[in-house]
């Protein structure tokens, strides 16, 4: 029964992540975000499509999706599998591993859902904001460092895709480094792999534009 939680977590994460916040927000302003700029549904393209008034709620909504999935999985664990009075070491280890895997899959599936939403023909965003916020929900320490790295990269380069790559790479690298030193569970490394691979695939066209020095630069003006 406990091993059903990772499956449920992945499903919850994907469905929450698949909610196309940017598309819904921009529709309020009479714009189909898929016809503007990159065609993605993330905050950067919402800015291009309908301005800051659309970008802010899009960013907030995309940030919340993965974090909520993680919180729901943890709450479900506490509700469905309350701690018994006495538990063997093996049973405690099994339950903890199942919870960690469920959290990792919920977070990773939320990023996949955001990038390839079933509700809009398996299209979506690039996963940068969703990855950063989900990482924060999984581990405030790692998440805080990922946010800092992403902010520094976007401030330095003013290129959204660079920040997205930095978020995915740093989440994976930090979770791997901590796991190797027995400071973080290995299932979280799986989440890092999913985050990194998801942003790399979603940003494939941007990599070509970066090589050609033709990538869009973010500007407030």
* Domain positions in the chain: 4-211
Distance, CA of 99 to CA of 37 (rounded, Å)? 40
> Residue 90's pLDDT is what?
82
3-state secondary structure of 94: helix
Q: What is the pTM of this model?
A: 0.91
CA 119 to centroid of chain Cα atoms: 17
- pLDDT digits 0-9 by tens, 60-106: 999 999 999 999 999 999 888 887 666 787 888 899 999 999 999 99
What's the 3-state SS for 99-156?
HHHHHHHHHHHHHHHHHCEHHHCCECCCCHHHHHHHHHHHCHHHHHHHHHHHHHHHHH
**pLDDT tens digits, 97-132:** 999 999 999 999 999 999 999 999 999 999 999 999
Give the mean pLDDT of 176-193: 97
pLDDT over 60 at 18, yes or no: yes
Is the separation of the CB atoms in 103 and 180 below 8 Å?
no
């Amino acid at each position: 029964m406990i091993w059903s939680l990772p499956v449920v977590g992945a499903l919850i994460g994907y469905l929450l992540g698949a909610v196309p916040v940017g598309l819904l927000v921009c529709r309020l302003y009479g714009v189909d975000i898929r016809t503007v700029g990159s065609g993605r549904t993330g905050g950067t393209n919402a800015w291009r499509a309908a301005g800051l008034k659309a970008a802010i709620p899009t960013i907030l909504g995309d940030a919340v999706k993965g974090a909520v999935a993680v919180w729901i999985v943890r709450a479900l664990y506490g509700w469905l599998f309350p701690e018994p009075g006495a538990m063997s070491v093996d049973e405690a280890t099994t339950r903890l591993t199942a919870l960690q895997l469920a959290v990792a899959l919920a977070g990773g599936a939320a990023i996949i859902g955001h990038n390839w939403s079933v509700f809009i023909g398996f299209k979506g965003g690039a996963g940068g904001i969703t990855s950063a916020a989900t990482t924060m929900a999984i581990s405030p320490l790692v998440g805080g460092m990922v946010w800092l790295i992403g902010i520094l990269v976007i401030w330095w380069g003013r290129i959204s895709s660079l920040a997205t790559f930095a978020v995915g790479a740093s989440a994976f690298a930090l979770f791997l480094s901590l796991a190797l030193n027995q400071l973080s569970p290995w299932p979280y490394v799986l989440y890092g792999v999913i985050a990194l691979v998801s942003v790399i695939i979603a940003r494939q066209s941007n990599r070509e534009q970066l090589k050609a020095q033709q990538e869009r630069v973010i500007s407030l003006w």
